[in-house]
DNA sequence: TTGGGG
């Protein structure tokens, strides 16, 4: 169902409140009097007629009684935030006529016995026939005019655009917000759900605790989920923009639609936090998921923003790295364009040479004593590289060590370079700093396989043609 | 009856 004007009403009955009584006067060919949504909210218990635009689309599910139920949110000029409308029907295909009653402040119910509805395209058009009607539906002579007004209002006031919205690029810990995003994948395991969501922007670069806990630096994970995405799913992920994992242990009924299709949705009242420097969304008890139309104002915004982003090579680069990436690394692969880590992970061939812009979030080894061993030329160094799209392990092969570190260094010089790579600040008079913030570096990386019988399973990354400057 | 939470 696309965004549409929805006309809902109930057949009049003797003794009803003013709006319905007015409608009753013209019994049969009634002159229904539509109330603005804001006025309907002030009339709890009354049966009302509404002419409003659908702003949120819920999923049809079996009710705890004998019916199926579906919830829409409808809005008009008097109340852009809209009102929730619950439909009941004994058959999903019907979604029919229900008595309208007010419940508290927030919502409207359709009673099957009395109500009716009609759905119209929301976009500006001369087509005034509904694309779906319930039984007991009758039009009125003024509806075409109202429909045109409603469509004009919609064109200038697309639903969505709420105060509480954050984009992935503006995520903040410890706040509750709405996220308008495309749901790319849903994973379930033992009542734990993970939604893989994307809005075309990059999550902010995390700061890490600078406490020199070698264990933590060495064991930085590549992803938050216990089981990594299978390659065939990974390959459906976009190559630019962060795919945020949103976790919950609640069953979200919209999940049925989200698992079957790729949908835009509004995740309402969610929170997020960082774990190991990776952003993680959390659906709590008060969070909700609403399916959105592709015509939703916020969705249109996100898609426009993404289209303009990917049209420009520089804007594909990590948002947090702009306006200028640190130039602490020199790369040889001058001619190559920029490639995101996700682009490489989803590359069709196992072997792939590319230039990328990343942060070194972890290194193994990173203890001074073990780093000294690198100088012997018999060890290799494993770096954990991160960009907004993914993390990978990339090895500095023992033969490439001297090149990478810019010559054969003293142990002290080596440790200094490693600290710079990891964003560990030098101690000053104020004492040990609390956070480290790895700089963005340009890096040449190539992938290869260890086992020709298991090329993808044995795929490794290796850094080449890259030198860390002083 | 059920359901809904700007």
Q: Which of A217-221, A382-386, A445-449 has the lowest mean pLDDT?
A: A217-221
Strand partners, A117: A8
Whether the per-residue pLDDT at A9 is higher than 70: the answer is: no
pLDDT of A141 reads 76
Q: Which residue has the higher pLDDT, A186 or A256?
A: A186
Q: Which of A53-57, A79-83, A263-267, A310-314 has the lowest mean pLDDT?
A: A53-57
Beta carbons of A319 and A201 less than 8 angstroms apart: yes
Beta carbons of A281 and A267 less than 8 angstroms apart: yes
Q: Which residue has the higher pLDDT, A24 or A241?
A: A241
Q: Which of A32-46, A126-140, A307-321 has the lowest mean pLDDT?
A: A126-140
pLDDT of A160 reads 52
> What is the Cα–Cα distance from A355 to A442, expressed in whole angstroms?
7
Query: A428 to each of A209, A210, A433, how far by Cα in Å?
Result: 17, 14, 8
Beta carbons of A222 and A391 less than 8 angstroms apart: yes
Q: What is the share, in percent, of chain A residues with pLDDT greater than 70?
A: 84
Q: Which residues contact A451 (CB under 8 A, 6 or more apart)?
A: A457, A458
Measure A88 CA to B3 C1' (Å). 9
Whether the per-residue pLDDT at A26 is higher than 60: the answer is: no
Whether the per-residue pLDDT at A23 is higher than 50: the answer is: no
Query: A401 to each of A60, A122, A374, how far by Cα in Å?
Result: 59, 62, 8
Measure A256 CA to B3 C1' (Å). 19
Domain boundaries of chain A, sorted by first residue: 4-156, 168-203+242-311, 320-468
Q: Is the CB atom of residue A163 positioned under 7 angstroms from any atom of strand B?
A: yes
> What is the architecture of the domain spanning A320-468?
Beta Barrel (2.40)
Query: Residue length, chain A?
Result: 470
Element (H, E) at A403: helix A401-405
Whether the per-residue pLDDT at A255 is higher than 90: the answer is: no
- Per-residue pLDDT reduced to its tens digit, A52-76: 888 777 778 888 888 888 888 888 8
Strand B bases with any atom < 7 A from protein Cβ: 1-6
pLDDT of A415 reads 87
Q: Is the CB atom of residue A45 positioned under 7 angstroms from any atom of strand B?
A: no
Measure A401 CA to B5 C1' (Å). 60
Please state the rounded mean pLDDT for residues A25-38: 68
User: Which among A367, A353, A343 has a CA at the least distance from the CA of A418?
Assistant: A367
Whether the per-residue pLDDT at A245 is higher than 90: the answer is: yes
Beta carbons of A75 and A122 less than 8 angstroms apart: no
User: Which among A23, A164, A159, A10 has a CA at the least distance from the CA of A87?
Assistant: A10
Q: Which residue has the higher pLDDT, A171 or A257?
A: A171
Mean pLDDT of chain A: 83
* Residue at minimum CA to C1' distance from nucleotide B2: A65
Q: Is the CB atom of residue A465 positioned under 7 angstroms from any atom of strand B?
A: no
- Best mean pLDDT range from A221-225, A341-345, A419-423: A341-345
* Residue at minimum CA to C1' distance from nucleotide B5: A106
pLDDT of A104 reads 40
> What is the architecture of the domain spanning A4-156?
Beta Barrel (2.40)
Q: Which of A8-22, A126-140, A232-246, A388-402 has the lowest mean pLDDT?
A: A8-22
Question: Measured in Å, how far apart are chain A's first and last C-alpha atoms?
Answer: 59
Please state the rounded mean pLDDT for residues A365-382: 79
Q: Which of A206-220, A349-363, A398-412, A415-429 has the lowest mean pLDDT?
A: A206-220
Domains A4-156 and A168-203+242-311 in one fold: yes
Please state the rounded mean pLDDT for residues A247-264: 85
Measure A199 CA to B3 C1' (Å). 31
pLDDT of A376 reads 75
Whether the per-residue pLDDT at A47 is higher than 70: the answer is: yes
pLDDT of A429 reads 64
Query: Rounded to the nearest 5 degrees, what angle is found at the Cα of A160, between the Cα atoms of A159 and A162?
Result: 135
- Per-residue pLDDT reduced to its tens digit, A308-351: 999 988 899 999 987 766 667 788 876 778 999 999 999 999 99
Q: Tell me which DSSP letter residue A332 carries.
A: S
Q: Which residue has the higher pLDDT, A235 or A26?
A: A235
Is A168-203+242-311 in CATH node 2.40.50.140? Answer: yes
Q: Is the CB atom of residue A103 positioned under 7 angstroms from any atom of strand B?
A: yes
Q: Which residues contact A308 (CB under 8 A, 6 or more apart)?
A: A315
> Residue A43 — very low, low, confident or very high, per pLDDT cuts 50/70/90?
confident
Q: Tell me which DSSP letter residue A165 carries.
A: B
Whether the per-residue pLDDT at A408 is higher than 80: the answer is: no
Whether the per-residue pLDDT at A16 is higher than 80: the answer is: no
pLDDT of A337 reads 86
Beta carbons of A9 and A116 less than 8 angstroms apart: yes
Q: Which two tokens stand for residue A437?
A: 């913030």
Q: What is the share, in percent, of chain A residues with pLDDT greater than 90?
A: 37
State the CB neighbour count (10 A cutoff) for residue A317: 21
Query: Rounded to the nearest 5 degrees, what angle is found at the Cα of A237, between the Cα atoms of A180 and A311?
Result: 75
């Amino acid at each position: 169902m696309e965004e549409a004007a929805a006309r809902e009403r109930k057949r009049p009955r003797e003794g009803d409140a003013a709006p319905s009584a007015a409608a009753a006067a013209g019994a049969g060919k009634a002159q229904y009097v539509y109330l603005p949504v804001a006025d309907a909210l002030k009339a709890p218990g009354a049966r009302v007629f509404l002419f409003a635009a659908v702003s949120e689309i819920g999923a049809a599910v079996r009710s705890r009684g004998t019916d199926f139920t579906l919830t829409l949110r409808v809005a008009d000029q008097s109340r852009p935030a809209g009102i929730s409308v619950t439909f009941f029907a004994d058959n999903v295909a019907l979604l029919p006529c229900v008595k309208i009653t007010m419940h508290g402040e927030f919502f409207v119910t359709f009673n099957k016995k009395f109500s009716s509805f009609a759905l119209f395209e929301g976009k500006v058009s001369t087509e005034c026939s509904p694309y779906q009607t319930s039984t007991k539906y009758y039009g009125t002579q003024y509806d075409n005019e109202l429909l045109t007004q409603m469509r004009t209002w919609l064109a200038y006031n697309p639903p969505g655009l709420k105060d509480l919205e954050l984009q992935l690029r503006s995520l903040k810990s410890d706040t509750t917000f709405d996220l308008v995003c495309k749901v790319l994948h849903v994973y379930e395991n033992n009542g734990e759900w993970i939604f893989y969501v994307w809005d075309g922007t990059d999550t902010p670069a995390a700061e890490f605790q600078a406490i020199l806990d070698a264990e933590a630096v060495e064991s930085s994970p590549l992803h938050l989920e216990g089981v990594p995405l299978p390659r065939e799913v990974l390959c459906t992920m976009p190559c630019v923009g962060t795919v945020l994992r949103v976790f919950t242990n609640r069953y979200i009924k919209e999940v049925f639609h989200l698992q079957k299709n790729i949908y835009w949705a509004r995740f309402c009242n969610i929170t997020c936090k960082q774990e190991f420097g990776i952003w993680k969304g959390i659906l709590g008890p008060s969070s909700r998921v609403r399916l959105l139309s592709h015509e939703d104002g916020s969705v249109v915004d996100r898609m426009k923003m993404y289209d303009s982003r990917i049209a420009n090579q520089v804007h594909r680069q990590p948002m947090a790295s702009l306006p200028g990436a640190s130039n602490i690394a020199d790369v040889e692969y001058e001619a190559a364009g920029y490639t995101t880590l996700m682009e490489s992970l989803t590359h069709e061939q196992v072997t792939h040479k590319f230039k990328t812009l990343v942060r070194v979030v972890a290194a193994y080894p990173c203890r001074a004593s073990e780093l000294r061993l690198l100088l012997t030329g018999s060890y290799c160094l494993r770096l954990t590289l991160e960009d907004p799209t993914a993390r990978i392990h990339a090895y500095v092969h023992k033969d490439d060590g001297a090149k990478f570190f810019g010559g054969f260094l003293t142990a002290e010089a080596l440790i200094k370079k490693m600290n710079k790579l990891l964003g560990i600040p030098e101690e000053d008079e104020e004492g040990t700093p609390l956070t480290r913030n790895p700089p963005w570096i340009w890096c040449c990386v190539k992938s290869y396989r260890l086992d020709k019988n298991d090329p993808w399973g044995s795929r490794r990354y290796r850094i080449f043609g890259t030198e860390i400057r002083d």
